[in-house]
């Protein structure tokens, strides 16, 4: 067959692009990175041109034609496309799925193609006139698919002809453009709040109402009725009960709108401190394309350094990307960026609809927004003239994508910076070992060793839970007199307290005191967590929720015991012990609604919360000067997980949460409760000594070798049949061994072994891991990507540089 052909990536799990014929009419616009509408089986999809001059398809296969090309210039810049190709190669992911992760959903895949009428003049007779007449009847626009139905034949050809003479426009928009409703019903507590004693009287015979009341309190005093009903399972009767008692009312509230859109931002401090100025000098002279680690203790003013570096780039006509671990948890950072760059900023966050996301992408692509702030996927923002990429809190595991393509945004940022000649700034008070001691350490290290105003880092006191005097009457809660006294004192002085307990729910698990059996999820090999408000046994992996059994499923013993405390239990205890303190709880259960994080953190910032308790969510980058005490209720929750990074995670969490204390003139202190005071993660965190920790941890990673001393690829096999999965894992290990010996690769094969979480959502899980240098690992990834693509049951996933081996 003759003519021109284009290779087109489609958002499907297939290894190779599809080949299409390029019709003459589209020939001049078919360039790399352009969006095209193509026929796929019986439907039309939007894909991306990878190669506009591809080979003809092999044999007698007849290539179908490209149907349309909606934009000019192409959506993807050449360097973004090369970044995608790097990801696909390095992580062993199909290029189509990689591009799918890169582009906003609304821009391709099952998008709608909409034709708009421009002019009818001069078009007479036939299909073209019929199409224009149809458009006119429809008020000027309609989808290509609907037009095809009206004409009784596919409409692409006629659309293309009309497009060329300028009679119509064509745009691709998200399949779903249904807008959110503008208002919603919210149940809000009244101003007058009963004390705990009064509550006992008021709610005597209405325990559900008390639960609802307390759930509302935990949610910051108000919550959408839909959330209370659908997620927390409170009935209408219970809600009416609170209203009848005058304790709450239902209000029609404007649906919470994007607070980032309205926030005018926080103005930055006016002058740099000498260490900040020195760090900036270091960035100025950093060669383009290279990375610098900004290693600054908590409260050292890293943000201002980022902002100033970006300001200089923008002044020189360039653009910038700021990555944050989770946008909801870092409103202060976003606000500070807004404060400097105002309308130049596009904030990309998960609550944007497909349409809003696509709009933001276009604004950035056209250069109408020069600075982009967002989580992981914002690393793909089509900023032109990219001058700076900032990765704030670079050690955070949330930068790693949990599905194909399993990319790490920090590492992608490094690749993109190199391709586009941008400077990469990796900021952290607790940098990852991967960054500090990995195969490509940052070109430069810039230190901010002191807090702003030379404030000291807060002293940390380690409370040994094995022998510390405990407060009686708090059940299973590890609650020492030292921590209790600290909280009482800080509250007494009108200061704020942060309490970290990295376990949500009420209690970690339910155990029979007679036979010892623990209630576990039927679909996952994990114990069920006890929740209150509503009372439920929940699986944190698959979302299963069931009633809390009265007696043991195994032996029938009548009384079951709760073990291990969670945030709900801590909250209940605190409410009883510090009845006048205004509490807020922040964990996955209180933050499931849009902007919930934002509301809680703003309340803390305005001084409306005295005691904020929560999971690791409260440890991230918050800057509240009135927080003088940080307490870690149980530092050991993640210390003994079977993962080589558990010590590093624990150190980072403790050092970060400790860094929230004493940021203002009143100073502050930190109390860490643990049963492992000798553990190096805890010892170094107590001294705020990240260098010390990194050095000791690195020696531990040498033998047996673990990243960053070696590279790691984890191949996970999963499926519904336990025996079949085990067998396939054995075959996978043999396949790896054979590959290693045939190609003489210097790699160690580990396993097969069951994953520590041996079953999730009814799928059994085994893994085989390979350790060694990047080059031979890359070879295995390439082979594995072809071999295991699209396998379903059992399925094999390739996780290169995994952040977790669970
Ligand atoms: P980090 O991210 O390093 O923990 P932040 O960037 O949050 O620290 O800065 C800590 C606090 O110091 C913030 O309240 C910030 O406004 C303030 N700050 C930073 N730089 C300066 C400066 N040059 N002058 C005065 N205050 C500053
Ligand atoms: Zn489960």
* CA of 529 relative to ligand 2 center, distance in Å: 10
Reduce the DSSP state of residue 800 to 3 states and report it: strand
Q: Ligand 1: which of 275, 303, 688, 690 to mutate, judged by most atoms within 8 Å of the beta carbon?
A: 303
Tell me, rounded to whole angstroms, the distance of Cα 573 from its chain centroid. 31
* CA of 758 relative to ligand 2 center, distance in Å: 12
| Cα 47–Cα 51–Cα 56 angle in degrees, nearest 5 | 100
The arithmetic mean of pLDDT across residues 676-685, rounded, is 95
Q: How far is CA 92 from CA 99, 717, 756, 796, in A?
A: 13, 15, 24, 12
Sorting pLDDT into bands at 50, 70 and 90, what band is 734?
A: very high
Q: Ligand 1: which of 265, 267, 268, 269 to mutate, judged by most atoms within 8 Å of the beta carbon?
A: 269
pLDDT at 310 over 80: yes
> Counting atoms of ligand 1 from 1, which one is nearest the CA of 266?
16
Say which ligand is closest to the CA of 664.
1
pLDDT (tens digit per residue) in 84-141: 999 999 999 999 889 988 988 767 766 677 888 887 777 777 888 899 989 988 888 8
Query: Is the CB of 304 inside a 6 Å radius of any atom of ligand 1?
Result: yes
Q: Three-state SS across 171-212?
A: EEECCCCCCCCCEEEEEEECCCCCCHHHHHHHCCCCHHHHHH
* CA of 694 relative to ligand 1 center, distance in Å: 25
Sorting pLDDT into bands at 50, 70 and 90, what band is 59?
A: confident
How many DSSP H helices and E strands does the chain contain?
Answer: 24, 32
Residue nearest atom 2 in ligand 1 by C-alpha distance: 302
pLDDT at 217 over 80: no
Residue nearest atom 1 in ligand 1 by C-alpha distance: 299
Query: Is the CB of 626 inside a 6 Å radius of any atom of ligand 1?
Result: no
The Cα–Cα gap between 509 and 518 comes to 7
CB atoms inside a 10 Å sphere around CB 516: 10
> Counting atoms of ligand 1 from 1, which one is nearest the CA of 271?
23
Query: Is the CB of 756 inside a 6 Å radius of any atom of ligand 1?
Result: no
* CA of 303 relative to ligand 1 center, distance in Å: 7
Beta bridge partners of 718: 765, 795
Q: Three-state SS across 312-332?
A: HHHHCCCEEEEECCCHHHCHH
The arithmetic mean of pLDDT across residues 1-22, rounded, is 84
Convert 477-499 to b/e letters by CB count within 10 Å (16 or more is b). Answer: bbbbebbbebbeebbeeebbbbb
pLDDT mean across residues, the chain: 87
The Cα–Cα gap between 647 and 433 comes to 11
Contact status, residue 752 vs residue 733, Cβ threshold 8 Å: yes
Instruction: Give Cβ neighbours of residue 359 (< 8 Å, ≥ 6 apart).
Output: none
* CA of 377 relative to ligand 1 center, distance in Å: 26
Percentage of the chain surpassing pLDDT 70? 95
Say which ligand is closest to the CA of 524.
2
Instruction: Note the pLDDT of residue 79.
Output: 93
* CA of 622 relative to ligand 1 center, distance in Å: 11
Instruction: Note the pLDDT of residue 415.
Output: 97
- Angle of the 302-315 helix axis to the 331-341 helix axis, nearest 10: 30
Query: Is the CB of 623 inside a 6 Å radius of any atom of ligand 1?
Result: yes
The arithmetic mean of pLDDT across residues 277-304, rounded, is 95
pLDDT at 49 over 60: yes
Tokens of 655: 């050092």
pLDDT at 27 over 60: yes
Query: Is the CB of 269 inside a 6 Å radius of any atom of ligand 1?
Result: yes
The arithmetic mean of pLDDT across residues 591-615, rounded, is 85
> Counting atoms of ligand 1 from 1, which one is nearest the CA of 332?
7
Percentage of the chain surpassing pLDDT 90? 46
The arithmetic mean of pLDDT across residues 189-216, rounded, is 81
Sorting pLDDT into bands at 50, 70 and 90, what band is 175?
A: low
pLDDT at 592 over 80: no
Query: Is the CB of 450 inside a 6 Å radius of any atom of ligand 1?
Result: no
The arithmetic mean of pLDDT across residues 638-647, rounded, is 84
* CA of 630 relative to ligand 1 center, distance in Å: 19
The arithmetic mean of pLDDT across residues 185-200, rounded, is 78
Residue nearest atom 24 in ligand 1 by C-alpha distance: 269
Q: Among 11, 9, 27, which residue's Cα sits nearest to residue 111?
A: 11
* CA of 634 relative to ligand 2 center, distance in Å: 25
Say which ligand is closest to the CA of 546.
2
Q: Where are the beta strands (DSSP E) in 244-359?
A: 248-254, 291-296, 319-323, 345-348
Residue nearest atom 26 in ligand 1 by C-alpha distance: 269
Sorting pLDDT into bands at 50, 70 and 90, what band is 647?
A: very high
The DSSP secondary-structure symbol of 695 reads: H
* CA of 517 relative to ligand 2 center, distance in Å: 17
pLDDT (tens digit per residue) in 563-575: 778 888 899 899 9
Residue nearest atom 18 in ligand 1 by C-alpha distance: 301
Query: Is the CB of 332 inside a 6 Å radius of any atom of ligand 1?
Result: no
Instruction: Note the pLDDT of residue 352.
Output: 76
Residue nearest atom 9 in ligand 1 by C-alpha distance: 301
Instruction: Note the pLDDT of residue 335.
Output: 87
> Counting atoms of ligand 1 from 1, which one is nearest the CA of 300?
3
Query: Is the CB of 221 inside a 6 Å radius of any atom of ligand 1?
Result: no
Instruction: Note the pLDDT of residue 179.
Output: 38
The Cα–Cα gap between 200 and 204 comes to 6
Instruction: Give Cβ neighbours of residue 23 (< 8 Å, ≥ 6 apart).
Output: 65, 66, 160
Kindly report which listed range (140-154, 328-342, 534-548, 605-619) carries the lowest average pLDDT score. Answer: 534-548
pLDDT at 620 over 60: yes
pLDDT at 483 over 80: yes
Query: Is the CB of 305 inside a 6 Å radius of any atom of ligand 1?
Result: no
pTM: 0.83
* CA of 518 relative to ligand 2 center, distance in Å: 14
């Amino acid at each position: 067959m003759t003519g021109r052909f284009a290779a087109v990536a489609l958002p499907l799990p297939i290894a190779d692009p599809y080949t299409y014929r390029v019709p003459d009419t589209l020939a001049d616009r078919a360039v790399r990175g352009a969006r095209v509408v193509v026929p796929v089986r019986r439907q039309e999809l939007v894909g991306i041109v990878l190669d506009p001059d591809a080979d003809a398809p092999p044999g007698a296969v007849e290539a179908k034609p490209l149907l349309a090309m909606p934009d000019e210039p192409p959506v993807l810049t050449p360097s973004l496309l090369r970044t995608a190709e790097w990801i696909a190669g390095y992580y062993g992911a199909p290029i189509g799925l990689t591009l799918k992760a890169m582009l906003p959903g609304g821009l391709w895949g099952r998008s709608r193609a909409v034709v708009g009428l421009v002019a009818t003049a001069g078009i007479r007779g036939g299909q073209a006139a019929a199409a224009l007449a149809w458009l006119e009847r429809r008020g000027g626009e309609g989808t290509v698919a609907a037009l095809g139905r009206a004409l009784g034949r596919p409409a692409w050809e006629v659309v293309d002809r009309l497009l060329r003479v300028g009679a119509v426009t064509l745009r691709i928009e998200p399949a779903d453009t249904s807008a959110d409703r503008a208002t919603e019903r919210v149940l809000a507590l009244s101003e007058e709040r009963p004390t705990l004693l009064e509550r006992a009287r008021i709610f005597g015979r209405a325990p559900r109402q008390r639960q609802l009341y307390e759930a509302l309190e935990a949610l910051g005093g108000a919550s959408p009725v839909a959330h209370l009903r659908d997620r927390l399972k409170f009935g209408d009767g219970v809600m009416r009960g609170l209203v009848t008692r005058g304790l709450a009312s239902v209000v029609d509230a404007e649906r919470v709108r994007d607070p980032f859109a309205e926030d005018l931002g926080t103005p930055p401090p006016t002058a740099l401190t000498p260490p900040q100025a020195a760090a900036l000098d270091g960035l100025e002279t950093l060669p383009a394309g290279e990375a610098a680690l900004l290693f600054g203790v908590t409260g050292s003013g890293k943000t201002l350094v980022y902002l100033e570096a970006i300001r200089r780039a923008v002044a020189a006509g360039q653009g910038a990307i700021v990555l944050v671990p989770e946008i909801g948890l870092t409103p202060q950072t976003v606000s500070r960026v807004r404060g400097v760059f105002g309308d130049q900023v596009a904030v990309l966050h998960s609550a944007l609809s497909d349409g809003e996301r696509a709009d933001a992408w276009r604004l950035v692509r056209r250069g109408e927004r020069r600075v982009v702030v967002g989580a992981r996927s914002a690393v793909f923002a089509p900023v032109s003239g990219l001058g700076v990429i900032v990765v704030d809190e670079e050690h955070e595991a949330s930068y790693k994508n949990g599905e194909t393509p399993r990319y790490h945004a920090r590492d992608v940022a490094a690749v993109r910076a190199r391709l586009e000649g941008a400077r990469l700034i990796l900021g952290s008070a607790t940098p990852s070992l991967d960054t500090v001691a990995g195969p490509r350490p940052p070109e430069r290290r810039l230190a901010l060793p002191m807090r702003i105003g030379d404030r000291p880092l807060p002293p940390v006191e380690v409370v040994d839970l094995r022998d510390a005097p405990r407060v009686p009457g708090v059940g299973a809660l590890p609650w020492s007199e030292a921590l209790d006294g600290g909280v009482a004192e800080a509250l007494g002085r009108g200061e704020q307290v942060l309490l970290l307990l990295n376990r949500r729910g009420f209690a970690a698990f339910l155990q029979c005191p007679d036979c010892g059996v623990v209630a576990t999820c039927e679909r996952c090999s994990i114990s069920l967590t006890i929740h209150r408000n509503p009372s439920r046994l929940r699986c944190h992996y698959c979302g299963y929720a069931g009633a809390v059994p009265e007696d043991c499923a195994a032996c029938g013993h009548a009384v079951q015991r709760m073990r291990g405390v969670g945030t709900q239990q801590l909250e209940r205890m605190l409410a009883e012990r510090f009845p006048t303190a205004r509490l807020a709880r922040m964990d996955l259960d209180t933050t499931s609604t849009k902007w919930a994080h934002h509301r809680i953190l703003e309340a803390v910032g305005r001084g409306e919360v005295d005691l904020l308790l929560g999971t690791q969510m409260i440890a991230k980058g918050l800057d509240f000067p009135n927080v003088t005490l940080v307490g870690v209720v149980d530092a050991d929750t993640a210390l003994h997980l079977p993962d080589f990074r558990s010590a590093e995670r624990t150190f980072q969490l403790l050092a970060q949460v400790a860094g929230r204390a004493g940021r203002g003139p009143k100073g502050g202190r930190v109390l860490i409760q643990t049963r492992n005071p000798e553990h190096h993660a805890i010892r170094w965190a107590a001294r705020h000594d990240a260098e010390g920790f990194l050095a000791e941890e690195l020696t531990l990673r040498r033998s047996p070798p673990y990243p960053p001393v070696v590279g790691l690829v984890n191949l996970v096999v999963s499926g519904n049949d336990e025996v079949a999965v085990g067998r396939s894992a054995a075959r996978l290990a043999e396949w790896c061994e054979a590959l290693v010996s045939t190609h003489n690769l210097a790699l160690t094969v580990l396993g097969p072994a069951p994953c520590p979480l041996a079953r999730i959502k009814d799928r059994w899980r085994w893994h085989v891991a390979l350790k060694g240098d990047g080059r031979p690992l890359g070879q295995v990834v390439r082979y594995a990507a072809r071999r295991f693509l699209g396998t379903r049951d059992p399925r094999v996933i390739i996780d290169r540089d995994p952040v977790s081996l669970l």
